[in-house]
Amino acid sequence: MKITIYTDGSSRGNPGPGGWAAVLLIDGQAVKHSEGEKGDAEVIELGGRENLTTNNRMELMGAIKGLQEVPDIRQSDSQTVTVEVCTDSQYVKKGMSEWIDGWIKRGWKSSQKKDVLNRDLWEMLKKEEDRLKEGKVKVIWTYVPAHVGVVMNERADTIATMCADDASDLQLYRGPKSDYVV
């Protein structure tokens, strides 16, 4: 079973109005329908905004909200569960896969002995990752280059930008992948 989450953040000014997005693709093995059978994969789009924020905070918020949408899962011996977070932010990817353990060991200080910026959001993100890992879920952090045609990443960018712009015509999708049109 696999859940893939594409995340993005946007701000108009840094700081300025900002938006975050997460697009979850949940493998059909994980989706149970009313009859109890497993079937089509599910897509869930999420987005939100803040009036005064930074791009990095919105990148983090997209990842947090995406992981929060993943229910508590207990991996059994016969089932492998993977959550892959795809981000076009090296800040988020490296923060979670390379830097965070050192920050925690140093009392939330960087290698230059300065306070880690956005600590509140890093702590929230780490808490969500730890929650999934308690269920023996494998969490993978993947860097996806921005604006190179990765469809789900482009959709996350569109949602984050529209949220930053407070667009009234934004419609978020939740439903079967077979009915999903980007």
Report the catalytic residues: 8-9, 59, 88, 147, 157
DSSP 116-140: PTTHHHHHHHHHHHHHHHHTT-EEE
Dihedral sign for Cα 158, 156, 69, 30, please. positive
Residue 71 DSSP symbol: P
Residue 171 DSSP symbol: -
Residues 33 and 39 sit within 8 Å (Cβ to Cβ): yes
